Structures are given as structure tokens and as C-alpha cells.
Amino acid sequence: MKVTQSDIVISAVKPEQYPNTRFPEVALAGRSNVGKSSFINKMINRKNLARTSSKPGKTQTLNFYVINEMMYFVDVPGYGFAKVPKSERDAWGRMIETYVTTRDTLKAIILLVDIRHDPSKDDIAMYEWLKHMGKPVIIIATKADKIPKGKWPKHEKVIKEKLNKDPNDPIVIFSSETAMGKEKAWSTIESYLFRKDEIKEEINEEIKEEPKDEDL
């Protein structure tokens, strides 16, 4: 996808604040400091639209980024940051659960993991929960520039095994520093935005709603 327009439209904490457009959405989940903001900025060709921070736990809302007036990236709070009070982490959890379970424009969730390390218990728990919710997951293995290319297959295999990855869920090796994997990431995301089966279903619904001759 060629990105010609992008902006953050709202930081929401409850459904009433979600955008009321019907653009398809892709959410981004991952532990604190896994590189979600850097991923967003690289994908939309902006340096600081999604603010990066060395301080974990900075994202505390659902941040909606509109892209080309046709879709949204939705950045959700990172997990695995112990210094955030449990009450606050629980509130984030409820906010994320409400969004994931009620938002019918949500087409897929990107789960970002650090390719250098085994998936954490929180990574595994998040992936299992998303699959339990029946959501398609795109796994983005970030920070690939930090290890030699020859080691990528080994680290990718570990990620697949530790997550017990669904064969239908794609994995993309990615670097926000070099943009390696950007084209593959976009083509993968686009395959979930406008799925043929959903388009066919929408057409069938429109046909059903068309007035019959005797109604005219």
C-alpha cells in the first residue's frame, strides 16, 4: 500500500469515543517497548506521528490512526510492564477486551514480538487469548536488524513453536530501522482488510435489502 495520508484521530478509552466511520481496522498489540510506535511510523512513512518512548507503559489509550481515509491502525496499551499498578493494568485489560470483543470493523490483530528473544509468558497468553476470541493474528517479529540475517530462520522457528502458532496466521520478519519486511507486512495486512468472502457477504446482504417489484 502506498500511504499518502495518515493522522491520529482520537485516543479512546470507551466505545462511545471510537470513530463512527466504517473503515476496517487492524489493532497492534505487544509488550511495552517491543516497537509498536516505531512499526507504525515506518509503515505510514512518518517519523513521529506515533510517539516513541524509552519509558515503558506510555500508551494508555486506544490510539486510532487513519490511513488514506480507508483504514485504521489501532495501537493498544502494551503489556508486561510490572511498574504500572495492577489496578491500572486491569483497567487497560478491560478496555482492550471490550474493544476486541465488540468492534465489528476489527479485521485482524498484529502481535509484535522481539525476534531476538523467546516469546514471553505475556506474549503467549495474549496470542492464546486472541485465538480463543477467534481473531486472525499477524505476527510481526521486530528488531530483525539487531541479529544476523543467517539467524532469522532459527529465531522464527522458536517464535512459532513457543506460541504454538496457528498455521493460518502469517509471520513477518521486520525492521523499523531498515524497513525490511515493510512491503510484505503491507501485503499481508491488505489481505485481511477486504476479504473476498466478506465482500461477497456484503453484496448478498445488499441484494436482500433491495426492494422487490411489488414493494414499489
What's residue 77's pLDDT?
84
What's residue 48's pLDDT?
65
What's residue 207's pLDDT?
47
What's residue 85's pLDDT?
60
pLDDT digits over 96-115, tens only? 889 999 999 999 999 999 99
What's residue 60's pLDDT?
75
What is the overall mean pLDDT for the chain? 84
**What band does 213 get if pLDDT is binned at 50, 70 and 90?**
low
Among 125-129, 155-159, 169-173, name the one with the lowest average pLDDT: 125-129
Q: Confirm whether 80 is domain-assigned.
A: yes
Q: Confirm whether 1 is domain-assigned.
A: no
Average pLDDT over residues 30-39: 88
Q: Confirm whether 92 is domain-assigned.
A: yes
pLDDT digits over 158-206, tens only? 999 999 999 999 999 999 999 999 999 999 999 999 765 554 454 455 4
Note the pTM of the prediction, 2 decimals: 0.83
Average pLDDT over residues 14-33: 91
Q: Confirm whether 137 is domain-assigned.
A: yes
**What band does 216 get if pLDDT is binned at 50, 70 and 90?**
low
- Give the burial string for 120-139 (b: 16+ CB within 10 Å, else e): beebeebbeebbeeebbbbb
What's residue 89's pLDDT?
67
Cα–Cα distance between 50 and 52 in angstroms, integer? 6
What's residue 194's pLDDT?
74
Q: How many domains does the chain have?
A: 1
Q: Confirm whether 176 is domain-assigned.
A: yes
CATH of the domain at 176: 3.40.50.300
Q: Confirm whether 112 is domain-assigned.
A: yes
Between 208 and 43, whose confidence is greater? Answer: 43
Q: Confirm whether 22 is domain-assigned.
A: yes
Q: Which of 59, 43, 8 is nearest to 140 (CA)?
A: 43
Is 41 within 8 Å of 48 (Cβ atoms)?
Answer: yes
Cα–Cα distance between 206 and 156 in angstroms, integer? 43
pLDDT digits over 36-85, tens only? 989 999 999 877 676 554 444 455 789 999 999 999 999 998 886 555 66
Domain with 115 in it: 6-215
Q: Confirm whether 46 is domain-assigned.
A: yes
